[in-house]
Amino acid sequence: MKTDKNLTVHDVARVAGVSIKTVSRVLNNDPTVRDKNKEKVLSAVAVTGYRPDLNARRLRTGQSYLICLLYFDYVSNSYSSRLVSGAIEVCDDFGFDLMVRPVKDRKSLAEQVRNIAARSNPDGYILTPPMSDDKDVIAVIEEENKSVIKILPMELDDISCVNCDIVAGVREAVNHLLTLGHRRVAILNFFKVRGGLLRYQGYEEAHRQFGLPIDSTLQIDGPMESDEDYERAIRQMLSGEDRPTAFFTFNDYLATLVYKVASQMKLRIPYDLSVIGYDDDPSSKNLWPPLSTVHQPVVNLGRAAAGKLIQQQILKQTYNHSEDLKCRYIQRSSCGPLL
Amino acid sequence: MKTDKNLTVHDVARVAGVSIKTVSRVLNNDPTVRDKNKEKVLSAVAVTGYRPDLNARRLRTGQSYLICLLYFDYVSNSYSSRLVSGAIEVCDDFGFDLMVRPVKDRKSLAEQVRNIAARSNPDGYILTPPMSDDKDVIAVIEEENKSVIKILPMELDDISCVNCDIVAGVREAVNHLLTLGHRRVAILNFFKVRGGLLRYQGYEEAHRQFGLPIDSTLQIDGPMESDEDYERAIRQMLSGEDRPTAFFTFNDYLATLVYKVASQMKLRIPYDLSVIGYDDDPSSKNLWPPLSTVHQPVVNLGRAAAGKLIQQQILKQTYNHSEDLKCRYIQRSSCGPLL
DNA sequence: TTGTATGCGTTATCAA
DNA sequence: TTGATAACGCATACAA
């Protein structure tokens, strides 16, 4: 059916033989409408092909039916695309728009959010690491009386954050390394962010299960300024007398740097060095050898964040989280037994 | 300054001592305002911290100040993130919002666009490959009287598309291979899309410069259903009696598949096989050996598309394209002389 | 060059 | 339970 563009509630009301207020009530699920009238309105909507004007509704209600996803503009991996992919689905279901904000400069972030609020006025925000803990940003959002959901923040509560089971995934991965006989497992991690704390916890628990002590000289802490800095640190770690025989990294991208340095040092993976990444970036299976990694459910994280934000916080409905947020170890070919 | 939320043109008009119409004129750059009044209005805006209400403006003008970026939901590379990154900048400059649409199902795309138009009513759309040539989608957009800009479409015109100089980049790359002595350069390409045609043209021109014939048995045509299909085709190509000594691929992702197959076949890059990718995905420099590739200016492509769409098509202003849309060959370590 | 009054399409008020 | 009318904040026709 050809949808005429200039239909309004008045047209629907005329066709249905009721007032515009009744039409509005039906469209907004107001229970105080006689079934008979409700039917008339719904059929009039169907017949005319009427679609409510989002902007008029926005103006009148003060709600924007828009949520904003802030992510660090770090284009080297697919994290943000996957997050968007999941969040969009939920937005579509609830009739919300999604606006994305790659942020380049974290320093002025609060100011940027203030501008976004002034201009586009989103009803809620999704904060992703490493910005989930930015106090200034959260202050601005609260000052604007808007909702916020944080992905993997440091401070946990039941309402405003979404987490996945990083500890279990990493524990399983490191467990595999220890099972293969490795006793010196290096960890390249961001120890100061929540995601890093949880990875370390998994690393630690695996060691504890084996009754092994933690060797703090096997730790490299990021983030660093440049790839070269990482490579230097990795090279130094692999050059020592008692070098590690396995490496776990904060993400798959950093694992590629370990691959690179290992190649330069003529260390063959997995024979001379085992490597496990984190995230299961789609490209990780095409490295050679294919990278063993911990699958992180990023698409589901996006779904959960958008779902909780929209349903629980903005619409004040009950939200039943149904997404699978487990992290699981994916065994490929970058790990071998200690020779 | 604390920005009060309920400021309107009336408040500004009162502070400035003029009428709301004058305020409106100033805010919309109407030239018929006395300088004196203009100053008064601008200072009143500054003093009060007034920000126009986007939704009221949208309702009144019928414009949404919103553009929609459609991209294929192929999360394996950073193409979409980079495009977004560039487009957002321009949107910010012109006070537009950007809405992203990852599309999973191309079959129902026209219907999806119709729904987007009915709901969010974007003023314009950016179409990316391989959807730049979708007649049904373009029909829907035109039916809605909206603007559209296509990135690398088959049918070129001056108005509605943006291109980068693929031919020159690929020619330079293949030229390098031929200079190194290679005479059998395989090409894994999407021959049917514009981007593929242009890559092939560059490949062909390089051969012509060297007075070399094209060997059509060295061509693999995509896209294919799965990575395994690609790997099979690559393996077969590299198994022949008179196998190619170099490979050029449609993008960096496919180059990683060549790396993978080469490793499996114990072909060392670059000694036994030279490889050149396309796109300069940020991860390509971390492959081992670092991948030589053709840098594609995707961020600038996003800027140019958004700039042309907003400035030329939507705002009917003159658009002076200033972005660098050259593709240039990046030499790393995946190519060596023919031994 | 400037100001007044009206309407965009929706939801909300309040009386019936 | 329903409907007439107002109001959201802006831009513009038209009058001055």
Predicted local distance difference test score (pLDDT) of residue A75: 60
Give the pairing type, strands B292-295 and B328-330. antiparallel
Residue B274 confidence (pLDDT) above 50: yes
pLDDT digits (tens, 9 = 90+) for A9-19: 999 999 999 99
Q: What percent of chain A has pLDDT over 70?
A: 98
Asked if strand D contacts B315 at the CB level, meaning under 7 A, the answer is no
A134-162 average pLDDT score: 91
How far does A211 lie from chain B, in Å, by closest CA? 36
**High-pLDDT (> 90) share of chain A, %:** 78
Residue pointed to by tokens 């942020």? A103
Find chain A residues with C-beta within 8 A of B58's C-beta: 55, 58-59
CB-nearest to B100 from A3, A75, A84 is A84
Q: Tell me which chain A residues have a C-beta less than 8 angstroms from the C-beta of B100.
A: 84, 88, 98, 100
Lowest mean pLDDT across A2-6, A60-64, B100-104, B148-152:
A2-6
Nucleotide nearest to A36 (CA to C1'): D1
pLDDT at A5 over 70: no
Residue B97 scores a pLDDT above 50: yes
Whether A66 has a pLDDT exceeding 60, the answer reads yes
Provide, as residue numbers in chain B, all residues whose Cβ is less than 8 Å from the Cβ of A101.
88
Q: Which nucleotide is nearest to A58 (CA to C1')?
A: C10
Quick one: average pLDDT of B185-211? Answer: 97
- From B200, B212, B201, B331, select the one nearest B275 (Cα to Cα): B331
Q: Give chain A's mean pLDDT.
A: 93
Whose CA is nearest the C1' atom of nucleotide C3? B19
Whether residue B103 is predicted with pLDDT greater than 80 in this model: the reply is yes
Across the interface, of B75, B82, B102, the residue whose CB is closest to A75 is B82
Query: Average pLDDT in the A65-79 region?
Result: 86
Query: Does A4 score more than 90 pLDDT?
Result: no
Query: Could you report the per-residue pLDDT of B44-56, keeping only the tens digit for each?
Result: 999 888 888 999 9
* Count of pairs with CB atoms under 8 A, one residue in A, one in B: 125
Which residue has the closest alpha carbon to D9 C1'?
B56
Query: Considering chain B, what is the average pLDDT of its residues?
Result: 92
Q: Three-class SS of residue A81?
A: helix
Q: Are A146 and A117 in contact (CB under 8 A)?
A: yes
Q: Which of B54, B85, B227 sits opposite A75 (nearest CB)?
A: B85
Tokens describing residue B257: 């598949």
- Digit-coded pLDDT (tens) for A314-329: 988 889 888 899 999 9
Q: Considering all nucleic acid strands, name the nucleotide whose C1' atom is nearest to the C-alpha of residue A53.
A: C9
What nucleotides of chain C have any atom within 7 angstroms of a protein Cβ? 1-5, 7-13
The rounded distance, in Å, linking the Cα atoms of B263 and A215 is 34
- The three-state DSSP-derived secondary structure of chain B is CCCCCCCCHHHHHHHHCCCHHHHHHHHCCCCCCCHHHHHHHHHHHHHHCCCCCHHHHHHHHCCCCEEEEEEECCCCCCHHHHHHHHHHHHHHHHCCEEEEEEECCCCCHHHHHHHHHHHCCCCEEEECCCCCCCHHHHHHHHHCCCEEEEECCCCCCCCCEECCEHHHHHHHHHHHHHHCCCCCEEEEECCCCHHHHHHHHHHHHHHHHCCCCCCHHHEEECCCCCHHHHHHHHHHHHHCCCCCCEEEECCHHHHHHHHHHHHHCCCCCCCCCEEEEEECCHHHHHCCCCCEEEECCHHHHHHHHHHHHHHHHHCCCCCCCCCCCECEEECCCCCCCCC
pLDDT-derived band at B2, boundaries 50, 70, 90: very low
Domains delineated in chain B: 4-52 (1.10.260.40), 61-164+298-314 (3.40.50.2300), 166-295 (3.40.50.2300)
pLDDT above 70: residue B300 = yes
- Strand arrangement, sheet containing A124-127: A161-162, A147-151, A124-127, A66-72, A97-103, B97-103, B66-72, B124-127, B147-151, B161-162
Answer yes or no: do B54 and A253 touch at CB < 8 A: no
Q: How confident is the model at residue A3 (pLDDT cuts 50, 70, 90)?
A: very low
**Nucleotide with C1' nearest the B59 CA:** C8
Q: At A76, is the pLDDT very low, low, confident or very high (cuts 50, 70, 90)?
A: low
Determine whether the distance from the CB of B98 to the nearest atom of strand C is below 7 Å.
no
Percent of chain B surpassing pLDDT 90: 71
d(CA B80, CA A298): 17
Residue B1 reports pLDDT greater than 60: no
Asked if pLDDT for residue A8 goes beyond 80, the answer is yes
> What percentage of chain B exceeds 70 in pLDDT?
98
A9-16 helix and A20-27 helix, angle to the nearest 10 degrees? 100
Among chain B residues 15 through 34, which have CB within 7 angstroms of nucleic chain C? 18-22, 25, 32-34
**pLDDT given at position A73:** 85
Residue B253 to residue A283, Cβ atoms within 8 A: yes
Query: Are A64 and B85 within 8 A, CB to CB?
Result: no
Nucleic strand C contact set for A 107-136 (CB, < 7 Å):
none
Integer Cα distance of B255 and A206 in angstroms? 36
Residue with the two structure tokens 């084996």: A210
Out of B54, B64, B75, the one facing A282 most closely (by C-beta) is B75
Grouping H, G, I as helix, E, B as strand and the rest as coil, residue A249 is: strand
CB neighbour class for B231 (10 Å; exposed up to 12, middle 13-18, buried from 19):
middle
Q: What is the pTM of this model?
A: 0.92
Asked whether the beta carbons of residue A286 and residue B260 sit closer than 8 angstroms, the reply is yes
Nucleotide nearest to B53 (CA to C1'): D9
pLDDT at B91 over 90: yes
CA–C1' nearest nucleotide, residue A6: C9
Whether residue B28 has pLDDT greater than 90: no
Question: Is 50 exceeded by the pLDDT of residue A67?
Answer: yes
> What is d(CA A9, CA A20) in angstroms, rounded to the nearest whole number?
6
As a whole number, mean pLDDT of residues A148-172 equals: 93
Residue B90 pLDDT class (50, 70, 90 cuts):
very high
Cβ-Cβ contacts under 8 Å, B3 against chain A: 114, 118
Considering only residues 27-56 of protein chain B, which place a Cβ less than 7 A from any atom of strand D? 27-28, 50, 52-53, 56
Shortest distance, CA B212 to any CA of chain A (angstroms): 33
Which residue's entry shows tokens 């006025």? A121
| Bigger pLDDT: B275 vs B104 | B275
Tell me if B283 and A53 make a contact (CB, 8 A cut-off). Answer: no
> What is the pLDDT at residue A155?
83
Task: List the single residue in B with minimal CA-CA distance to A140.
Answer: B2
Neighbours of A128 (CB within 10 A): 23
Facing B78 at nearest CB: one of A76, A97, A260: A76
Residue B215 has pLDDT above 60, yes or no: yes
Cβ burial, residue B32 (10 Å; 0-12/13-18/19+): exposed
| Strand D closer than 7 A to residue B239 Cβ | no
pLDDT over 80 (residue B259): yes
Nearest-neighbour CA in chain B from A85: distance (Å) = 7
Separation of alpha carbons B101 and B122, rounded Å: 12
C-alpha distance from A6 to closest chain B C-alpha (Å): 11
CA of A21 to C1' of C15 (A): 14
pLDDT of residue A301 exceeding 90 = yes
Residue A176: pLDDT above 60? yes
Q: How many Å from the CA of A226 to C1' of D3?
A: 67
Spatial CA neighbour of B78 closest among A271, A118, A323, A73: A73
State the residue for tokens 């291979």: B177
Contact A190, A289 (CB under 8 A): no
Please indicate whether, in this complex, the C-beta atoms of B253 and A100 are within 8 angstroms of each other.
Answer: no
Q: A152 burial class (0-12, 13-18, 19+ CB within 10 angstroms)?
A: buried
Which of B82, B88, B283 is opposite residue A283, by nearest beta carbon? Answer: B283
Residue B137 has pLDDT above 90, yes or no: yes
Residue with smallest Cα–C1' gap to C13: A21
- Nucleotide nearest residue B20, measured CA to C1': C3
> Which chain D nucleotides are covered by protein, judged by CB under 7 A?
1-5, 7-13
Strand C contacted by A44 CB (< 7 A):
no
What local confidence, expressed as pLDDT, does residue A91 receive? 95
